[in-house]
A and B are shown apart, each in its own frame.
Chain A
Amino acid sequence: MTWFLDHLGDVQDRTLQHVYLAGLPLLLGLLLALPLGWLARRYKALYAPFTAGFGLLYTIPSLALFVLLPAIIHRQILDPVNVLVAMTLYTVALLVRTVADGLGAVPEHVQQAATAMGYTRVKRFFAVELPLAVPVISAGLRVAAVSNVSIVSVAAIIGIPQLGLFFTDGFNRDFYDPIVVGIVACIVLALLFDVVIIGVTRVLTPWIRATGGRA
């Protein structure tokens, strides 16, 4: 506890770095996954190659990706951009299927009703299909958020500053305190991400509370 209070500044800096490295890719990954998921839904022939192909990205171990990416995108190995790209790839890998399945779960009669009311395809997507898919997409996003927070800490092995550095610091000095503080901070951060996503989902889906879950 004393260690924690003495190093409050460090904890704050690294938490912010961690939020940036784990959080920004969530948004970028979601933005990329939306059109990809929509394509997989719209053209049935794309569903299998898209979901399986992006799923394969997830099989690449994080440490391996952190080392391979700099060589592929021509960056220094210590450049945080590598971590951002890697985490974005993992987020996309998880979310493409989720978005496709979420859009697919929108009932046929709802889509027909929207079309009958004069919605164009684009308007129908943004005003009807996407909002109704929010609960499913948000469930996928929560999984991605929690695993991102954990995976980002691995980047400490190659020396990229975030909460994971407390693990390497503590280990190198045979000292428990930073490790425990780092683990707790990671779990709290994962929890915070979760709470934010749940909160945003609630705001975006007022009908769930109004009707008890019926769309």
Chain B
Amino acid sequence: MIQNIVRWLTDPEHWSGSEGIPARLGEHLWYSGLALAIAAVLAIPAGLAIGHTGRGRFLVVNLAGAARAIPSLGLLYLMVLWLFPKLSGDVAFLVPSLIVLVVLAIPPIMAGAYAGVEGVDPAARDAAKGMGMTGSQVLGRVEVPNALPLIFSGFRSAALQVIGTTTIAAVAGTGGLGRFLIDGQKIREFPQMVAGALLVAVLALLVDLLLAVAQRYAVSPGLTGRSRGRSNTPKVVEIGALRRTVDPQAS
């Protein structure tokens, strides 16, 4: 069993061409990255605005809860049936999946941004105002840097879900690593399915690790407890399905 999987993974034929592992990996990263980018562009400003003004909090909390209950697989099939006849070419495959992935990614990213800003120590915010900063300066120079750990948490949570769900999108005809799982199942080639599953799991772990490293460099040392002195760490907040805190152990 294991030998068959290793043989499949090490077969040079599976490492080249438009259906090889590098090409599928590239597709997977492209769909996931695009969806995350779109979701971040929409959700981060909205989350920051809600956290900064304190308005619309109720909406976000409920939106995040409701969105989590929607089964992605069902939404994906619905979108494909509805949009596929309306579009043509590669776009017809890409757009329905992309919508599902963006819908999936928005709630955790928005919740992270909003909770991060809301959790900023009021004393820090007041001090910034007292120093004469305008509203947008307070947001940009105090609230966002302080909220960064939770913004990252939300984004990482979204990234994991999107990478996992991009796999599922292969049932709707898109590329990506999910193809190995779906195609392998069609021709009853179990080693191919397992190899595909392994590749997705490894990819998810690597991306999470990479984002953890990025977070370490992006977040001010004063927040993470890596520098001496009092830290201004926001409280523990729940984001997405994966509960993360801002303490350094929560990798």
Interface residues of chain A, those whose CB is within 8 Å of chain B, are 47-48, 51-52, 55-56, 58-65, 67-68, 71, 77, 94, 97-98, 101, 139-140, 143-144, 146-147, 149-150, 153-154, 156-158, 163-164, 166-168, 170-171, 174, 176, 179-180, 182-183, 186-187, 190-191
Q: Are A150 and B204 in contact (CB under 8 A)?
A: no
Given the known inter-chain contacts A94-B241, A146-B68, A190-B69, please indicate yes or no for A179 contacting B74, CB distance below 8 A. yes
Q: Are B242 and A55 in contact (CB under 8 A)?
A: yes
Q: How far is the CB of B83 from chain A (nearest CB, A)?
A: 13
A residues near B241, Cβ cutoff 8 Å: 58, 94, 143-144, 146-147
Q: How far is the CB of A203 from chain B (nearest CB, A)?
A: 22
Q: Are B201 and A61 in contact (CB under 8 A)?
A: yes
Q: Are A63 and B70 in contact (CB under 8 A)?
A: no
Given the known inter-chain contacts A101-B236, A139-B238, please indicate yes or no for A149 contacting B182, CB distance below 8 A. no
Q: Are A63 and B77 in contact (CB under 8 A)?
A: no
Q: Are B167 and A183 in contact (CB under 8 A)?
A: no
Q: Could you say which of A52, A61, A153, A180 contacts B73, with CB atoms under 8 Å apart?
A: A153
Q: Are A183 and B200 in contact (CB under 8 A)?
A: no
Given the known inter-chain contacts A48-B249, A67-B194, please indicate yes or no for A186 contacting B71, CB distance below 8 A. yes
A residues near B160, Cβ cutoff 8 Å: 58-59
Q: Could you say which of A98, A144, A171 contacts B80, with CB atoms under 8 Å apart?
A: A171
B residues near A61, Cβ cutoff 8 Å: 163-165, 167-168, 197, 200-201, 204
Interface residues of chain B, those whose CB is within 8 Å of chain A, are 1, 5, 65, 68-75, 77-78, 80-82, 160, 163-165, 167-168, 171-172, 178, 181-182, 185, 190, 193-194, 196-198, 200-201, 204-205, 208, 236, 238, 241-245, 249-251
Q: How far is the CB of A160 from chain B (nearest CB, A)?
A: 12
Q: Which 4 A-B pairs have the closest CB atoms?
A: A61-B164, A64-B197, A48-B249, A190-B69
Q: Which residue on A lies nearest to B205, using beta carbons?
A: A59
B residues near A144, Cβ cutoff 8 Å: 241
Q: Are A164 and B167 in contact (CB under 8 A)?
A: no
